Amino acid sequence: MRDIELHEDLETAATLRAIICVEGPDEYPYAETIERTSAKLSAETVLVSADAPGDRAAMVNALRTALHLDHGPQPRSLADAEDSIVAERARAPRLVVVFDAHALRTTALVTLYGMWAHLVPSRFGLVLTGPHRKLERTLERPALASLQSCVHLHPDFPLRSDASPLHLLLAGARHG
Residue 176 lies in a domain: no
- In this predicted structure, the answer to whether residue 155 has a pLDDT above a threshold of 60 is no
Highest mean predicted confidence (pLDDT) among 28-32, 101-105, 133-137, 171-175: 101-105
| pLDDT higher at 62 or 6 | 62
Contact criterion met (CB below 8 Å) for 126 and 86 = no
- In this predicted structure, the answer to whether residue 29 has a pLDDT above a threshold of 90 is no
For the segment 91-120, the average pLDDT, to the nearest whole number, is 88
DSSP 86-147: HHHHHHS--EEEETTGGGS-HHHHHHHHHHHHHTTTS--EEEEEEETTHHHHHHTSGGGHHH
Which pLDDT value is given to residue 163? 45
Overall number of domains in the chain: 1
**Cβ–Cβ contacts within 10 Å for residue 148, how many?**
20
| pLDDT higher at 54 or 91 | 54
Which pLDDT value is given to residue 121? 66
CA 141 – CA 137 distance, rounded (Å): 7
On average, the pLDDT of the chain sits at 80
Task: Give the range of the structural domain holding residue 119, as residue numbers without chain letter.
Answer: 3-171
Identify the band that residue 129 occupies on the pLDDT scale cut at 50, 70 and 90: confident
Contact criterion met (CB below 8 Å) for 169 and 153 = yes
Nearest to 134 by CA among 167, 161, 173, 171: 167
For the segment 148-157, the average pLDDT, to the nearest whole number, is 53
* 80 membership: H or E segment, kind and range: helix 78-91
Contact criterion met (CB below 8 Å) for 38 and 45 = yes
| pLDDT higher at 70 or 123 | 70
pTM attached to this predicted model:
0.83
CA 30 – CA 130 distance, rounded (Å): 8
- CATH code for the domain in which residue 142 is found: 3.40.50.300
Which pLDDT value is given to residue 170? 54
Residue 135 lies in a domain: yes
| Distance (Å) of CA 54 to CA 11, 17, 48, 61, 117 | 27, 24, 12, 10, 21
For the segment 15-22, the average pLDDT, to the nearest whole number, is 85
- In this predicted structure, the answer to whether residue 110 has a pLDDT above a threshold of 90 is yes
Residue 164 lies in a domain: yes
CA 132 – CA 44 distance, rounded (Å): 26
Contact criterion met (CB below 8 Å) for 169 and 28 = no
Which pLDDT value is given to residue 72? 78
Residue 41 lies in a domain: yes
- In this predicted structure, the answer to whether residue 161 has a pLDDT above a threshold of 70 is no
For the segment 93-109, the average pLDDT, to the nearest whole number, is 91
For the segment 103-129, the average pLDDT, to the nearest whole number, is 86
